[in-house]
Structure 1
Amino acid sequence: METRSLYKLTQDDPQVHTGSYDSQIECLKDIISGLKSEIERHDRECNLTRQQETERMRKKENELWKATKDLDEVRQFLSTVKTEIDSMHRMIPAPEEATNVDKKNPRSSNDSDIRIGDEQGEMAKLRESVSLLEARMEGVLDEAAEFQTENNRLKDELGKARSENLSLEAKLRDEDLQLNSQLGDLIVKVNKNSEVLKLFSDHCKSDGSQVKALHGRIEALLAELQEIETRVDICADELQLASVHVLPTFPKYSISHEGPEGRVAEKVRCLIEQGLLKVAGCRSHPAIEKPVEPNKAGLDTGNYTEIVPTPSFGHWLAGKHIASLQDPW
């Protein structure tokens, strides 16, 4: 059974284990490269977001600058209009002054009436112009108020955008640091695992060489077992020819054909049993054995040697079995 298990063990290829370790190392390298590409993509996205935020803030600053410039222009225009209105008011004489002038110069009443009529027409035009200018000034003031409101709104949005940009930069910085730390830890772990897997691979290679050596030894043992089985079959044939009893066939003894070691063991057991049967048969039939004739030369000289038949392999196995039964220690 041990021989069969060793034989089965030799069928396993040690390159399979080495290949699995190499595949794990390649998988870890792929994970590291994927993380590096992910970090690079994240950096590109951060740079793109930073550029977009910078461009948006620049546009808002330009809008704020334009609104401030327009507001300054409106203020200058209002000051100019106000100056013109004040000058017009100074140019228009008061009604009391016109009446006093008429009382002092009664002779020129007609000329003054004509002049007053002309002045009244001009004053009406001036009043109309002043009213138009005042209406326009009110519109400009309303527009300036709207510009001021828009300016305040743009300032608020610019402050919010700056705060959001700062928070986004801090968040991206933290994520970048976290990813870099995770990548460093992962690289350290991968290096350690690579060293361990390399040691395992070296052990597997050495075990594979040992398994190959064991496989060669097992093949040599199997060849020896086949040779022993052949010799046992030859001895069985010789025992069957020499015995007066019919040798039982090996299938009768349920000889296993799964491996050569089982077959050889069963055949040896059969030969031992047959050898015992032969010894018992020889003892029960002494007439079958040929008598030993003394040597003629020995008779002449008074000395003779007994001719002893050469024992077969079955006799030797039977003798060993009997000796083991008589002296089990």
Structure 2
Amino acid sequence: MINFDYVRATSAADAVSRIAAFPGAKFIAGGTNLVDLMKEDVERPPRLIDISRLPLNRVEDIQGGGLRIGALIANADLAGAPPVAQRYPLLGDALRAGASGQLRNMASVGGNLMQRTRCCYFYDLATPCNKRRPGDGCSARDGLNRAHAILGASVACVATHPSDMCVALAALDAIVHVRGPTEGRALALTDFHRLPGDTPDRDTNLEPDELITAVELPPKGFAEHYSYLKIRDRLSYAFALVSVAAALDLDGDRIREARIALGGVAHKPWRDARVEDAMRGEPANAATFGAAAQALLRDARALAHNAFKIDLAARTVVRALTQAARGTPQSQTDKRIG
């Protein structure tokens, strides 16, 4: 049994001061990932700081036309919020593609940002894992690695990031707002998560004494031409082998702007601005989409059991961009690929 203290924060400032004063403490909101990790003895926080009752659960318009999303709004509530449905449907679809209805009712936006890999070796205390204990080694590299990374991996770690929400947020150029002991700061979603390098135990660039307070979306939501396509082993309650958040701004049949973010392929949601820039002015057709897919995956490297993911990712990119160009996004209720 894990012994830990439990306290409830009364404000964001109180939460930050409490975690700064108690090294190793963890924030808990919905607990959909942290509680699992504690049950498996992967995480052993000496203190839990409950932030679930802080007033950080609103969706608000901001000056200039963007949207501010409180860190404690539940995934289910966010997916159904009218501003998201009307202006950022890509985010709503990604949220509905994740987990189950019960989990979406509990999971918070901030917790989704912070969730840890589902690599089986990370959860298995009997096997070495650099993410769990730096310097032990990576069991997945020579083990069962069918679901593991094909991009951005390192000798130290080949785990993948599990979130669907974060893939859509990466495509939408979201900004994460955090609060520390002395001041707040903002991080681009694309800079929030880290590649493993030689420090795979660090999933994000958040400091231990910082609290996520909100996520900001810019005015442009790509509400007309978008699609979130998730390929998995079964149609419900499964993590992505490959997912793609695709968004297009079209001028007739020409691409004015393109956004492509990949999930299930790296330690963080994967975007490449060079590929997106190269699509500007090109026709929105299969040839352009195929070239973009190949460019996105030019540095992909397979392990013993996941070479299929490279071709799968390329085909998923083309299909998602095709859906986006047609204005026929992938349905998250009837999950047959359109």
The TM-score with structure 2 as length reference comes to 0.16
The TM-score with structure 1 as length reference comes to 0.17
Higher helix proportion, which one? Answer: 1
Higher strand proportion, which one? Answer: 2
Higher RCO (CA < 8 A, seq sep 6+): 1
Give 1 or 2 for the bigger CA radius of gyration: 1
